[in-house]
Each structure stands twice: as structure tokens, then as C-alpha cells.
Amino acid sequence: MDKIRTHRDLKVYQLSFKAGMAIFYLTKSFPTEEKYSLIDQIRRSSRSVSANLAEAWRKRRYTKAFIAKLSDVEGEAAETQNWLDYALACGYLKQDEHKTLDDQYDHIISIVIKMINNPDKWTL
């Protein structure tokens, strides 16, 4: 295992950034009437996952602050899954696109929960 020096070295950060970028590119094909609703919401929540991971990493000196930020990560990932469900129901995503992204966010959430349950492994 390589030494983790910054949040960018965290596998969960890399996964969340990649998933967020996939959502960015997929939402480019959504209808323009969704620009200030679904597109904006799903892009914000997906980007917030990696942003909150970066914040959590910098707050790892304080276990409670670290866990609180990771809890925000979990919430934003679940919110992203909610918007993915809407995108599928509205016909903006194909079933396989939805499944791939939903599975990625399930994986991200499972990693974050492990971090929350074992903060001593991550905190200073």
C-alpha cells in the first residue's frame, strides 16, 4: 500500500472523482429544461462527495470532525443515488448507465462507512 499523503491518494477519493466526472459527461445530454434542476442537483451532490472527502482528510486530527465530514460524504453519495433514480425514471439515463453509477456510489458508501467505523486507522 502506497503512503497516503493527500486526499488525492485515497482510493475512495479517486473513485468519487471519477464517478462525479462520469455524471458530468452524462448530464451534458440531459434536456436543457433540466439545467437548473436535475442537472444542477446531481452535479452538485456528486462533486460534493469528493469535496467532502478532501475536507475530511484535512480534519483527521480531530476524530469527531473527521467522522462528521465522512457522514456528509455518505449523505451526498446517497443524494446522488437519488438523483440517478430520477434521471433513470425520466428516461435520461439508460438502465446500464444507472446501474454502473449506482453500484459505484454503493461501493463509495461502503468504504466511507468502514472509515467511519474505524477512524483510528485514518486519524492522526
**CATH code of 40's domain:** 1.20.1440.60
**Number of structural domains in the chain:** 1
d(CA 123, CA 66): 8
pLDDT tens per residue across all 124 residues of the chain? 578 999 999 999 999 999 999 999 999 999 999 999 999 999 999 999 999 999 999 999 999 999 999 999 999 999 999 999 999 999 999 999 999 999 999 999 999 999 999 999 999 8
**Is 67 among the domain residues?**
yes
**Is 32 among the domain residues?**
yes
**Is 1 among the domain residues?**
no
Domain extent at residue 17: 7-121
Compute the C-alpha angle 48/49/51, nearest 5°: 60
**Is 2 among the domain residues?**
no
Q: What is the dihedral of CA 24, 27, 29, 35, to 10 degrees?
A: -120
